[in-house]
Structure 1
Amino acid sequence: MQRQFEKIAAYLNLHFNKVALFFVVFYGVGILGLSLPATYPIFTKLTPLALLLSTVAMAFFHSSYSEKALAVFGVIYLIGFGVEVIGVNTKLIFGPYTYGGGLGPKLLDTPLIIGVNWLLLVYAANSVIERFVANRFLVILLAGLVLVVYDLILEQAAPLIEMWSWQNNEVPIQNYVAWLVLAILLSGVLRLSGIPVKNRLAPVILSCQTLFFILLLFILNRP
């Protein structure tokens, strides 16, 4: 299994430009599918698969695996998922919000994929920031800030594709504060563990997702 994984990783790294182009087209098709009334219901259900595909693809470009790395990734998933469970059921962390059907199967009113989403975003943000900043504590802080900016866009787009919605359609300030705290916490877990986060595909995925949500706002918010 490990040898097969390494072969696939080597092949994908050799053809990185094609992989990057694939995801540009992939997210472009997603925008088109969500823009058309006939295909909108289908594409809203594909969001979990898109997140999984993006995460698995990035996994093949991760530079070094170990039991420690897998454990840290698992901890980030569990913390991210656990905080969301508490948040959606108590309304005390992020504010009053409810998950729709766009993120797939749920446990305790929380999509199982949401922990994967936190892992993907935290890993990608740290990988991108580390390209420009050497100090790991500054990387942690900046990664948190990057994810808050990302969330400013995401919160406006999420209800449009049935990911989640807010009471009275108002996103409270506490949501962004909680996002910053949780993003910094998870970035700290990742960076202070010493696990390398160099990843060629991370900037592509993070950029594609950000542009994806920006374009959806323009397209689906049309009068």
Structure 2
Amino acid sequence: MSVTIPVAVRYHSTVRTVLVLSYMAGIVGLQSPSLAVYFRPLSPVILFFSLLVLLLYHTDWQPAFYVYLILTLVTGYFVEVLGVHTGFVFGHYAYGEGLGPSVWSVPPIIAVNWLLLTYGCGSVCSHLTIPVWLKVLAAATLMVVLDLFIEPVAVQLDFWTWFNKPVPLQNYLGWWLISIVLFTIWYALPFDKENRLAKWLVILQFVFFLSQSLFMFL
């Protein structure tokens, strides 16, 4: 096992503060008519930045972890390609311009989103003192709960659009089942799941999308 103490951990308070300020700026900026035009294109940048910082906190860079990274990125991306072109996985939807350029009608940054969310939720639930199979279900359910807040905001920010409204139950079932597969891989692979930043990023995701949802109804 190759475990080292990342440099980022030594500056944990500073890193956490920068992340919090970045997300808070996004919350305010996206709700300001004069600032939203500048903040909307930054959404994929913040996603990538969040994943980069999260990985800076990862301590166990052994082959098993690289397997998880590759499988999650590939699965996350191509399940979206399948979903967009067939409607089979999540329902009928299409990506907009909010997440940047697309390849095969899917923005590559969506793979980063799958990796960010599964890593965060998986790390948080790894602390639960329950059997592994229950951790898998708990982490997958946490993903779906988060998606409940993501969906209305994603449509508003032109991340994606649903052809049928409201968001179909098929979407949440698809998220849950795919998450179960990814979390089964996560918990099965022998690498350290501890990450000091993971819970903060999950909290920030909830705060960001919940606040944006509330602003939509004010």
**Aligned-pair distance for 1:195?**
2.1
Which moved further from structure 2: 82-91 or 162-171?
162-171
Task: Indicate which of 60, 77, 80 corresponds to 1:64.
Answer: 60
What residue in structure 2 maps to residue 160 of structure 1? Answer: 156
1:142 is the counterpart of 2:132: no
1:110 is the counterpart of 2:69: no
Task: Indicate which of 186, 194, 199 corresponds to 1:190.
Answer: 186
What residue in structure 1 maps to residue 216 of structure 2? Answer: 220
1:150-178 Cα offsets, whole Å, 9 max, x none, are: 11111121111111111143200111100
Q: Percent identity?
A: 32
Which moved further from structure 2: 168-177 or 86-95?
168-177
What residue in structure 2 maps to residue 3 of structure 1? Answer: none
Which one-letter code corresponds to 1:160 in the other structure?
Answer: Q
Aligned-partner SS, 1:165: strand
Runs of 4+ deviating beyond 3 Å: none
For 1:30 and 1:197, locate their aligned partners in 2 and report how far apart those are by CA, in whole Å.
29
Aligned-partner SS, 1:46: helix
Which one-letter code corresponds to 1:163 in the other structure?
Answer: F
Task: Verify the 8 A CA contact 2:64 2:190 in the aligned structure 1.
Answer: no
**TM-score, normalised relative to structure 1:** 0.92
For 1:59 and 1:134, locate their aligned partners in 2 and report how far apart those are by CA, in whole Å.
26
**Aligned-pair distance for 1:209?**
1.0
For 1:15 and 1:137, locate their aligned partners in 2 and report how far apart those are by CA, in whole Å.
35
For 1:72 and 1:49, locate their aligned partners in 2 and report how far apart those are by CA, in whole Å.
23
Task: Indicate which of 38, 43, 57 corresponds to 1:47.
Answer: 43
For 1:98 and 1:221, locate their aligned partners in 2 and report how far apart those are by CA, in whole Å.
24
Unaligned runs of 5+ residues in structure 1 are 1-5
Task: Verify the 8 A CA contact 1:35 1:220 in the aligned structure 2.
Answer: no
What residue in structure 2 maps to residue 84 of structure 1? Answer: 80
Unaligned runs of 5+ residues in structure 2 are none
What residue in structure 2 maps to residue 120 of structure 1? Answer: 116
Task: Indicate which of 151, 167, 173 corresponds to 2:169.
Answer: 173
1:200 is the counterpart of 2:196: yes
Superposition RMSD in Å: 1.4
Task: Indicate which of 1, 7, 10 corresponds to 1:14.
Answer: 10
Which one-letter code corresponds to 1:127 in the other structure?
Answer: S
Equivalenced residue count is 215
What residue in structure 1 maps to residue 95 of structure 2? Answer: 99
